[in-house]
Amino acid sequence: MKAPTFKYLRAESMDDVYAAFAEYGDEAVILAGGQSLMPMLNMRLAQPAVLVDINPIYELSGIVLSNQKLHVGAMTRHVEVANAELVAETLPLIGCAIKQVAHRGIRNRGTFGGSLAHADPAAEMPACAVALDATLILQSHGGARRVKATDFFLGVMSTDRRSDEILTSIELPTQGSNHAWAFHELSRRHGDFALVGVAATAQRRSEGLDGLRLVVFGCEARPRISEVVASRTLVPQDVAEFAAAVVKDLDPMSDLEGDAEIKLIQAHALVERSLNDLLAAQPYD
Amino acid sequence: MTEPEKIIGVSFPRPDALRLAAGRGTFTDDIVLPRMVHMALVRSPYAHALIKSIDTTDANKAEGVVRVVTGHDLVEICSPFIAEIEFLPNMISPRQYALALEEVAWQGEGVCAVLAESRALAEDAAELVKVEWEELPAVVDPVAALTVGTPIVHRDLKTNLAMTMPIEEGNTKLAFAEAEVVVEHAFEFGRQAGVALESRSVVADFEPTGRQLIVYQSHQTPYQMQDVYARHLGLPEHHVRVIAKDVGGAFGIKLHAYPDEMTAVAASVLLGRPVKYIVDRQESFSSDIHSREMTASGRLAVSGQGIILGVEVDILSAIGAYSIYPRTSVGDGIQAVQFTGAPYRLPAFKGRVRIVYQNKTPCGAYRAVGQPIGCSIIEQLIDIAAAKLNIDPAEIRRRNNLNSDDMPLKAAGGLEFVNVSLNECLTELLAKMNYESLRRDQKEAQQRGVYRGIGLATFVEQTAVGAGLYGPAGVRVSAQEGCALRLDPTGLVRCSTSATDQGQGTLTGIQQVIAETLGVGFDDITVKAGDGGSTPYGGGSWASRGLAIGGEAARLAAIDLRGKILSAAAAIIQGSSENLTLVSGKIFDGAKFKMDLSELSEIVHFRQNTLPPDVDFEMNVIRHFVPREFPYFIANGIQASYLEVDIGTGGIKLLEHWVAEDCGTIVNPMLVDEQLRGGIVQGLGAALYEHCIYNEAGQLLTASLADYAVPLASEMPDIHVIHIENKASGTGLGAKGAGEAGTLGAPATIWCGVNDALRPLGAQVWKQPFTPAHVLQALHSRGSLHKVGEMFKN
């Protein structure tokens, strides 16, 4: 478990990154927190020719609130997201879900942007980004491109990022007292990737909820909004029907932890709990 | 004061704990020698294949490479392993070479070794070795291993069946015919790995001019490895010295002789240079021994009062590609059968174990060897019987537990008992856990749709196995332990023991035994272990023997040294030694202080001329102990688990855990408590998480800590420990082993607890580990997939 030989470039600025892309193209891989990349290197599952270390680029880190949007720099560590009062107040879904991301040591190094760019279908943050209708800012030498989270994730560890682009920040519309949220995850042990999980938000109406953005993650190749219930109003007596509809629309992948049939049973339980949580949630101030 | 200081039974902290916590340990990878080279192995990517050719040209030319070695290079200087047991003449076992010669039998078997200036360069060069393979069909499933026309793992053996052992005592046919209730259950136990924090590692240093070999190795028994290296390399035994410095966990994984370490040592002989080989975590999963892969069927016959009339158990144990050297891989299956029903009165017992080879990583002894399997089988059967008869699970155990009236006993499964305290343990456990109130809580929760279960698991544990087992087996393993004591001129004592410590705190316990027995302070002793060339000959560490055997040897040595000291003291004070005592380093005559031990020490070392010529001044003793009266010491106890099953997702949450355990004399309560807790956690890992999963081609799919889930602190419940202390007979110390009790009983508590929770829903789990997927499989199939096989057929 020793990494193969690679060239290491320390990027001090965005220009350094663009220069590396220009020189090495696909051969250049971004090193952010390294919590997925370094094990893959040591197991020789990835053998990139060049690592471009963006840790020195200070401006890629930080959490800022402006125009009812939270702007999270791609290099912001999970621990900073987890500790930020701003996140807990304006995006409680992320405040809850971030605690399920691996363990403390990994959260200290791992980054918010790295998790999105890595696009593991069982990871929590991509699912939350989709549920919260996040926008990802991708920059290249030619300028910035804005991509909705719903369009960004294409498949297992596959995204819309082009090889000359770097994910620099994420915009998340904040939520207020008219929103409800729910998060449930089944994993073997606390901090493991989800066997199945649900991230959901909705808007309160005088009766029930609408604008339901419910993502079942960890069982399909990418996190996506469950469209079958997205345009309907949820009232308590419809929970069972909604849950059945969401699950019917799923096409789970089998893995070591269970076949598709088992995943559907588990997803059903978590979707039902999430819908009940959304309905039961007290308005927050 | 002349009262002996109480040291045995006190929770002394480990003197070496601070050193290790401060990062000042010397683990094998910390050893760096001049001219040392690093080794990486090319391992088979196939479960079963022929090696058509190996081309090492490019690898030999790669940067930093010193030499590339194949099996044919090693076979010249190193003879192969064959692991057999003399009292099992029907057992068949293949030859195992350090590096495979013509055929590989598991994915991960070594075929070529690259020696280079660094491990990274060795790994780079290993990728350049070109092996031409011809893939052969693999035997993966244990049942399929015995079907007609199946591929054969080792063609020259002509069968995959390593051995069959039937055990029969009493008339089971009659017992089952007359029983009011007969219950049965099928069981599948997942293959497990041992996962020590420090991986296997070795630094071999062969000095060619004098043909002297020193091997630093992370191992439990340096004496055994000296014997192995000397015989297989054709070196005189006194030219071979194996040293185990600090060892970071072992659990049986580091009890065996592996072809990988043999390769590193043989490579050092070939090169005449030190060779370091550190097994990395990925290699660890495919080359450390695995264990516990078994399928079983069990039947239990009981009377209307729940009294056991007979037990039948049929076990198929799959041991991978080879029987591990030198102790073999059959112990797991044999002990699984022997321990099915061992805590209970069994009028009739019929058992059988069949052991098969398959194209997977070889299996071997792992903490509690087979005993957790037997325990899980009987505890599950007895719970099903209790439910059928509407008898409380605690009560049915009380009615069947062996007790003092049954002692001494040679049980149906072949175990020999001298004393037990099962009912005392049960009583204490039920009181501590508030059993009745938990049962009420369980009922109340169920009304809310929350399914909780209580699992009880009675166990007996075979500890501190003596020569009675290894002697007749013809296995070159010494079951004795030795202890040497030396009094230094300042009155301080050095101990050198054959017992070894991989983190248990065994050496601290031995230090306590010596301090109290001899009459000096705990801090007045240092203990050295692990050097096979300079410590007294012995076994090391396995089967929970450190205090029971190593502690007794230390006690005997301390008694002898004390006698020598008091005789010398009598000569110095010109009196009789009859009323002399040594207490806390001071010599008294009756209640009267006579002299400090330090003063005496100075005289016997520096002023022998002042002593009369017949006075013994040699303050060195060496004593050994091996159990001969009994083959082993049986420890016993009971564990309980309270847990909750999420019937929507199949997830299991552990709420609380208890153990009441009798390991005889407790030398250090804190260390025993933590042995039990650590062992329980390992057993809970077996029940809930740990599984070496292979695909149909024999590829290991769980070769990292991301895929092979070990228990983590966040999921573990509080574990309450209760002790009952019945001294072992046959030793003055009275200690039995305590190292495996936790691992032994914990899986069975989860079998019983989960099925207790699911019973109202008509479902039962039958496959360990109890993953969420398996719990749902059990719930949604209502047990229809779970069928007891036809026993004792084929």
pLDDT digits (tens, 9 = 90+) for A256-270: 888 999 999 999 999
Which residues have C-beta within 8 Å of that of residue A227, sequence separation ≥ 6?
A: A249
Integer Cα distance of B487 and B494 in angstroms: 7
**Contacts with B, A 221-280, CB within 8 Å:** 256-259, 262, 265-266, 268-270, 272-273
- Its domain, for residue A15, covers 7-53
Residue scoring higher pLDDT (A141 or B473): A141
How many C-beta atoms lie closer than 10 Å to residue B70's C-beta? Answer: 19
Are A40 and A67 in the same domain? Answer: no
- Yes or no, beta carbons of A266 and B648 under 8 Å apart: yes
Residue B2 has pLDDT above 80, yes or no: no
A195 and chain B: CB distance < 8 Å anywhere?
yes
Integer Cα distance of B304 and B295 in angstroms: 29
Are A48 and A85 in the same domain? Answer: no
Per-residue confidence (pLDDT) for residue A93, from 0 to 100: 97
In this prediction, residues B53-77 reach a mean pLDDT of: 98
**Would you say residue A285 lies in a domain?**
no
Pairing of strands B201-207, B451-463: unpaired
Q: Residues A38-93: pLDDT tens digits?
A: 999 999 999 999 999 999 999 999 999 999 999 999 999 999 999 999 999 999 99
CATH of the domain at A194: 3.30.390.50
For residue B448, give how far its alpha carbon lies from the nearest alpha carbon of chain A (Å).
15
**Would you say residue A1 lies in a domain?**
no
Q: Which of A41, A120, A185, A186 to mutate to test the interface with B (most CBs of B within 10 A)?
A: A186
**Would you say residue A23 lies in a domain?**
yes
Q: Residues B74-120: pLDDT tens digits?
A: 999 999 999 988 888 899 999 999 999 999 999 999 999 999 999 99
- Yes or no, beta carbons of B280 and A1 under 8 Å apart: yes
Are A196 and A145 in the same domain? Answer: no
Half-sphere exposure of B355 (CA within 13 A, CB side): 31
For residue B695, give how far its alpha carbon lies from the nearest alpha carbon of chain A (Å).
10
Write out chain A residues lying below 8 Å of B773, CB-based: 257-259, 262
Write out chain B residues lying below 8 Å of A257, CB-based: 771-773
For residue B124, give how far its alpha carbon lies from the nearest alpha carbon of chain A (Å).
7
Q: Residues B263-272: pLDDT tens digits?
A: 999 999 999 9
Nearest-by-Cβ selection for A2 from B123, B648, B712: B123
Which residues have C-beta within 8 Å of that of residue A96, sequence separation ≥ 6?
A: A181, A183
Name the pLDDT band for A169 (thresholds 50, 70, 90): very high
Per-residue confidence (pLDDT) for residue B646, from 0 to 100: 98
- Among A173, A202, A236, the domain boundary falls at A173
- Yes or no, beta carbons of A257 and B772 under 8 Å apart: yes
Q: Residues B686-711: pLDDT tens digits?
A: 999 999 999 999 999 999 999 999 99
Q: What is the pTM of this model?
A: 0.96
- Among A120, A154, A173, the domain boundary falls at A173
Q: Which of A41, A266, A273 to mutate to test the interface with B (most CBs of B within 10 A)?
A: A266
Share of chain B above pLDDT 70, in %: 99
- Yes or no, beta carbons of A258 and B281 under 8 Å apart: no
- DSSP assignment of A146-203 equals EEEHHHHEEETTEES--TT-EEEEEEEE---TTEEEEEEEE-SSTTSPPSEEEEEEEE
Phi, psi of B224 (to 5 degrees): -60, -40
Q: Residues B479-538: pLDDT tens digits?
A: 999 999 999 999 999 999 999 999 999 999 999 999 999 999 999 999 999 999 999 999
Write out chain A residues lying below 8 Å of B780, CB-based: 265
Are A64 and A168 in the same domain? Answer: yes
Write out chain A residues lying below 8 Å of B702, CB-based: 256
**Would you say residue A270 lies in a domain?**
yes
Nearest-by-Cβ selection for A1 from B282, B701, B712: B282
What are the structural domains, with CATH classification, of chain B?
17-23+480-625 (3.30.365.10), 31-136+196-250+253-287 (3.90.1170.50), 165-193+290-466+629-781 (3.30.365.10)
CATH of the domain at A139: 3.30.465.10
- Among A53, A69, A89, the domain boundary falls at A53
Name the pLDDT band for B474 (thresholds 50, 70, 90): confident
CATH of the domain at A22: 3.30.43.10
Are A207 and A146 in the same domain? Answer: no
**Would you say residue A233 lies in a domain?**
yes
For residue B68, give how far its alpha carbon lies from the nearest alpha carbon of chain A (Å).
19
Are A24 and A77 in the same domain? Answer: no
**Would you say residue A206 lies in a domain?**
yes
For residue A35, give how far its alpha carbon lies from the nearest alpha carbon of chain B (Å).
12
Are A163 and A188 in the same domain? Answer: no
Residue A161 has pLDDT above 60, yes or no: yes
Name the pLDDT band for B472 (thresholds 50, 70, 90): confident
Question: Looking at the 3D structure of chain A, how many domains does it have?
Answer: 3
Per-residue confidence (pLDDT) for residue A284, from 0 to 100: 45
**Would you say residue A147 lies in a domain?**
yes
Are A141 and A226 in the same domain? Answer: no
Are A28 and A72 in the same domain? Answer: no
- Yes or no, beta carbons of A258 and B119 under 8 Å apart: no
Q: Residues A106-118: pLDDT tens digits?
A: 999 999 999 999 9
Are A160 and A123 in the same domain? Answer: yes
Share of chain A above pLDDT 70, in %: 99
Tokens of B339: 């321990």
Burial A264-280 (b: 16+ CB within 10 A, else e): bbbbbbbbbbbbebbbe
Q: Taking an 8 Å Cβ-Cβ cutoff, which residues of chain B contact chain A?
A: 119-120, 123-124, 127, 280-282, 646, 648-651, 689, 693, 701-702, 704, 706-707, 709, 711-712, 714-715, 771-773, 776-777, 780
CB A149 within 8 A of CB A127: no
Nearest-by-Cβ selection for B772 from A5, A258, A272: A258
In this prediction, residues B403-423 reach a mean pLDDT of: 90
Q: Which of B29, B201, B649 to mutate to test the interface with A (most CBs of A within 10 A)?
A: B649
Torsion of CA B259, B265, B269, B274, to 10 degrees: 150
Nearest-by-Cβ selection for A256 from B119, B707, B712: B707
- Yes or no, beta carbons of A188 and B771 under 8 Å apart: yes
Are A125 and A149 in the same domain? Answer: yes
Residue B788 has pLDDT above 80, yes or no: no
Write out chain A residues lying below 8 Å of B649, CB-based: 186, 196, 265-266, 269-270
Name the pLDDT band for B782 (thresholds 50, 70, 90): low
Are A148 and A72 in the same domain? Answer: yes
Q: Residues B217-258: pLDDT tens digits?
A: 999 999 999 999 999 999 999 999 999 999 999 999 999 999
**Residue spans of alpha helices (H) in B113-258:** 119-126, 172-178, 222-233
Per-residue confidence (pLDDT) for residue A285, from 0 to 100: 40
Residue B785 has pLDDT above 70, yes or no: no
Integer Cα distance of A152 and A33 in angstroms: 20
Per-residue confidence (pLDDT) for residue B5, from 0 to 100: 87
Name the pLDDT band for B414 (thresholds 50, 70, 90): confident
Name the pLDDT band for A134 (thresholds 50, 70, 90): very high
Per-residue confidence (pLDDT) for residue B591, from 0 to 100: 92
Per-residue confidence (pLDDT) for residue B4, from 0 to 100: 81
Write out chain A residues lying below 8 Å of B114, CB-based: none
Taking one residue from A and the other from B, the number of pairs with CB-CB distance under 8 angstroms is 71
In this prediction, residues B561-570 reach a mean pLDDT of: 97
**Would you say residue A92 lies in a domain?**
yes
Mean per-residue pLDDT of chain B:
96
Of B94, B121, B95, B125, nearest to B112 (Cα)?
A: B125
